[in-house]
Amino acid sequence: MAMYEVIHTPVGRLFVGASDEGLHLIKFLDQRDSKGELIADLEVAAGETALRGGTAIEEPVRQLGEYFAGKLHSFDLPLAPKGTEFQLSVWQALRAIPSGVTTNYGAIASAIGKPTASRAVGAANGRNPISIVVPCHRVIGSNGTLTGYGGGLDRKAWLLNHETTKRS
């Protein structure tokens, strides 16, 4: 059964969607016109009807709460993103970036064995369906500046600052 929850965080409301298969979706609610579109995305990803609440969503919500409280620095959740083989390899590489550390698109491209694919890595990074848990916010420009983030650069800056200052 696909399940979702809407949680309030310091960076806005998040839509969190999961099923028994794993976590499918974390999106900022203002990234879409309506929660209904995100429910439809979850239903497509999970292949089943989505209901609010339930056991599959409890652990992701708990871990996100601990992350925002500064008590959790690494997520331990089964993930079930849908994407191409290339996208999945990029998203897996993103999960290897430690909390509080940044890298760039070229380094991710090299890490997945495609050293000339930094633009394609950027595109895959932008299509990451599981924000925060798959930490696309930790990827910055090669010159050290913050670059695009689907949730907005202010959120990206907040998340990076949170990870470097909220160590407990």
Which one of 130, 134, 136, 160 is the catalytic residue? 136
For residue 138, which of 88, 101, 96 has the smallest C-alpha distance?
101
Tokens of 110: 């090299």
Q: Is the Cα dihedral 24, 29, 31, 37 positive or negative?
A: positive
DSSP string, 60-92: HHHHHHHHHTT--SS----B-----HHHHHHHH
> Catalytic site residue 136?
yes
Q: Which residues are catalytic?
A: 136
